[in-house]
A = this chain, B = another copy of it.
Amino acid sequence: MDDKKQRIIEIAEQLFAQYGFLKTTMEDIAKKVHMGKSSVYYYFKSKDDIFVEVIRQDTLVFQKKLIDAVNITSTPEDKIRAYVTTRMTHLQDLSKFYSTLTDEYLDHYLFVEEVRKDFYDNENIVLKKLLEEGVKQNSFDVDDVVTISRMISIAIKGLEFSLFVEAKDYDPVKESNEMLDLIFNGIANR
């Protein structure tokens, strides 16, 4: 039962990656799972529902990957660096895999963003926690943790944007670390 559901998700993910969300029909999915279309509806109540589930699972894997990357480092600074570089690298891989979906990106952008909302919310929490940790350990000097983590999020969004625009020969690790140098040290002379 659950494995059938899982199978549908995996097939759907493949098809979405290959043809994009719009061009993939429920028939396509059903056929490839060797089911009637109606049977697929026994497991999912809509096409959007399948998509949401695909994204959700991807996000879960992504988050686990981020946690692992953060956990093998020790200082707060290294943790944040690990978080950001891993995030950017993963995003670059993703944009290759989902090349078709990237073209549709602008279209159902809002929809994807809504599904991703949980991810972003969580990201903010993680960043805030890492900041607080650094403050406690006296390696960071931040008084408004909420605002600063928001600004860091925005700066990362900027990185993400230039990743999408400059596309090729973009080194996400180098780029991330340069941004992080700025974020950690600032430019003021003290």
A residues in contact (CB < 8 Å) with B = 77, 106, 109, 131, 134, 138-142, 147-148, 150-152, 154-159, 161-162, 178-179, 181-190
Q: Are B188 and A185 in contact (CB under 8 A)?
A: yes
Residue pair B148, A182 in contact (C-beta under 8 Å): yes
Cβ of A188 and Cβ of B154 under 8 Å apart? no
Hey, which chain B residues are within 8 Å of A156, CB to CB? Answer: 158
A157's partner among B77, B109, B162, B189 (CB-CB below 8 A) is B162
A186 to chain B: closest CB distance in Å? Answer: 3
Partner of A187 from the list B148, B157, B179 (CB cut-off 8 Å) is B148
Kindly provide the distance from the CB of A96 to the nearest chain B CB, expressed in whole angstroms: 20
Complex formed: what's the CA distance from A137 to B164 in Å? Answer: 37
Number of copies: 2
Given A106-B106, A147-B178, CB of A187 within 8 Å of CB of B140: yes
A sample of 12 inter-chain contacts (CB < 8 A) reads: A106-B106, A138-B189, A140-B187, A141-B185, A141-B190, A148-B187, A155-B155, A155-B158, A156-B158, A157-B162, A158-B161, A186-B186
Contact B179 A154 (CB under 8 A): yes
Question: Min CB distance, A166 to chain B, in Å?
Answer: 11
A184 to B138, CA, bound (A): 19
Q: Which residues of B contact A150 (CB under 8 A)?
A: 178
A134 to B190, CA, bound (A): 13
Contact, CB under 8 Å: B182 / A183: yes
Given A131-B187, A158-B157, A186-B183, A151 and B139 contact (CB-CB distance below 8 Å)? no
Q: Which residue of B lies closest to A159 (CB)?
A: B154
Chain B residues closer than 8 Å to A142, beta-carbon distance: 187
Given contacts A182-B183, A183-B182, contact A189 B155 (CB under 8 A): no
Min CB distance A120 to B, Å, is: 11
Q: Is the CB of B139 within 8 A of A155?
A: no
